[in-house]
Chain A
């Protein structure tokens, strides 16, 4: 349960990501100043007030520069995903179909999703209290979907499943980044917190479904073309089959998704309903 328990721990530090893929649950901690006390699990019945107080407390230890940068970063990301959302809605209103939707927004999507790699750096330099490994895994899985699936496997771009995860990611990220922004500005409207801890209930499974269906749709093309694969013999005596790699990736959702989903449900009960939950020892 190693790193996924860590993921759970990180999830506590910034609330559940409300994202589709457990792997794509892009950073739970990065950009946030969520209570480090949530991370060590002592924040059992955190009320909204104490949560915000903790957030302030943590921020006071952050330098001015770090706070300014994180505020800028989170505002920029909120704006970016908002732009994406609007572009998607406009496209659908004008064209009435999802075909060509991905192509029309791909540059913006790639830009903002790739920019999120910075969240790993935030954790590395310590201005965000989440583990580098957890954030790395989460951001990587988003990068994987964008660059190694939808960008590289053109035939899947018009699948409906792509819209499914795009919508899920967009709503999630807007909620998440605005949550962080408001936390940093010390003025968190309850409805943002509510959104953050409730949207995931639907968005998470929807996003996972979108991602899995997209990967599934890509399989025949990958098998036929043998893309991204290395065959024997070669002088480094290694081989790689992208088709099997995708199958294994799909299979990995089975153990990972339920864990993260149920963890987030528990977090939600703690934060929104003040339940005191005694965690089972690892």
Chain B
């Protein structure tokens, strides 16, 4: 019940950055971060990593000072996480880019293909279908970012936006260039191939959306509780019986569908790279589920049923 003193040292140089006296013992790390910002305004709370040990884990915003293993004066180590940007901003930028860029190629805006092709239209119906699917995919992602997803972190390092946008925008331009090219070659097996691919694409888009909704319903707004996701009445969610991250499974499926539809090697490469990254994420998520929940369903694999 006595007021505590908190000293904050730089984790690398051990230099004393600040001493906060008369801190309430029930103060949270979040509140301490706000106090620290007052003396060092360039380090807003999202950029602060405070820890008990200079090489240890970051303390959580919800942690209470009183409950930490510290004496009457707490020593916290500070690390600058670098400029931060909100997840929502990053997602919106990453997804708006491909939507817009693909359309530039679809409408054959000048300076991309030869001048005689400016603003012309492809004579292949699959090219129009591909544009609809690609655009639908990114519109869906934008809407989900705004209305569906509940982010557990507020921010990420600023440099991520450059990395992520280069990846999404770059691949979108590369794919769109070939699909909308005047010399595009439609799929070898014609309408049959396109119909099958479209079916895969639509099923996976619906599946992916169903999983996002199910995950959203798992966590009430504003809470940070974590629960094991289970299948619901929606058949698309039954994939939870076999994998931990069916949203990623469906996402890869969508892109495989798109690759078959367009028979375009860059699309296949994009699917492969995406699959690799999502597998890494899925394995991480799967591992943390296993660590956190003793009764985690043993049949589940991270991303591919029975295999991976």
**Interface on A for B, CB 8 Å cutoff?**
1-2, 232-239, 278, 281
B183 touches A232 (CB 8 A): yes
- B contact residues around A232 at 8 Å (CB): 178, 181, 183
B184 touches A235 (CB 8 A): no
- A contact residues around B183 at 8 Å (CB): 232-233
Which of A2, A232, A233, A236 has the largest count of B CB atoms less than 10 A from its CB?
A236
A237 touches B264 (CB 8 A): yes
B265 touches which of A2, A236, A278, A281 (Cβ 8 Å): A236
A281 touches B178 (CB 8 A): no
B12 touches A278 (CB 8 A): yes
- B contact residues around A237 at 8 Å (CB): 178-179, 181, 184-185, 262-266
List the A residue with the shortest CB-CB distance to B81. Answer: A281
Q: Smallest distance from the beta carbon of B240 to chain A beta carbons, Å?
A: 33
- A contact residues around B263 at 8 Å (CB): 235-237
- Interface size class for chain B? 10 to 19
Q: How far is the CA of A238 from the CA of B183 in the complex (A)?
A: 10
List the B residue with the shortest CB-CB distance to A278. Answer: B12
Q: Smallest distance from the beta carbon of A277 to chain B beta carbons, Å?
A: 12
Q: Smallest distance from the beta carbon of A225 to chain B beta carbons, Å?
A: 22
List the A residue with the shortest CB-CB distance to B187. Answer: A235
A2 touches B163 (CB 8 A): yes
List the A residue with the shortest CB-CB distance to B12. Answer: A278
- B contact residues around A233 at 8 Å (CB): 183-185
B185 touches A235 (CB 8 A): yes
Q: Smallest distance from the beta carbon of B113 to chain A beta carbons, Å?
A: 11
B179 touches A281 (CB 8 A): no
A235 touches B188 (CB 8 A): yes
A281 touches B185 (CB 8 A): no
List the B residue with the shortest CB-CB distance to A280. Answer: B12
- B contact residues around A1 at 8 Å (CB): 159
Q: How far is the CA of A278 from the CA of B15 in the complex (A)?
A: 13
- B contact residues around A234 at 8 Å (CB): 185
List the B residue with the shortest CB-CB distance to A232. Answer: B183
Q: How far is the CA of A275 from the CA of B178 in the complex (A)?
A: 53
Q: Smallest distance from the beta carbon of A2 to chain B beta carbons, Å?
A: 7
- A contact residues around B80 at 8 Å (CB): 281
B79 touches A281 (CB 8 A): yes
List B42-82 residues whose CB lies under 8 Å from chain A: 79-80, 82
Q: Smallest distance from the beta carbon of B175 to chain A beta carbons, Å?
A: 9
- A contact residues around B178 at 8 Å (CB): 232, 237-239
Q: Is B223 an interface residue (CB 8 A)?
A: no
Q: Smallest distance from the beta carbon of B122 to chain A beta carbons, Å?
A: 12
Q: Smallest distance from the beta carbon of A233 to chain B beta carbons, Å?
A: 4
- B contact residues around A236 at 8 Å (CB): 263-265
The contact string, 1 if C-beta is below 8 Å from chain A, for chain B 159-186, is 1000100000000000000110101110
Contacts A/B (CB < 8 Å), 19 sampled = A1-B159, A2-B163, A232-B178, A232-B181, A232-B183, A233-B184, A233-B185, A235-B188, A236-B265, A237-B181, A237-B262, A237-B265, A238-B264, A238-B265, A238-B266, A239-B178, A278-B12, A281-B79, A281-B82
The contact string, 1 if C-beta is below 8 Å from chain A, for chain B 76-117, is 000110100000000000000000000000000000000000
The contact string, 1 if C-beta is below 8 Å from chain A, for chain B 261-282, is 0111110000000000000000
Q: Smallest distance from the beta carbon of B42 to chain A beta carbons, Å?
A: 15
- B contact residues around A235 at 8 Å (CB): 185, 188, 263
Q: With A233-B184, A234-B185 given, can you name 15 additional A-B contacts, CB distance below 8 Å?
A: A2-B163, A232-B178, A233-B185, A235-B188, A236-B263, A236-B264, A236-B265, A237-B179, A237-B181, A237-B184, A237-B263, A237-B264, A278-B12, A281-B12, A281-B79
Q: Smallest distance from the beta carbon of B267 to chain A beta carbons, Å?
A: 9
The contact string, 1 if C-beta is below 8 Å from chain A, for chain B 1-43, is 0000000000011000000000000000000000000000000
- A contact residues around B265 at 8 Å (CB): 236-238
Q: How far is the CA of A232 from the CA of B182 in the complex (A)?
A: 10
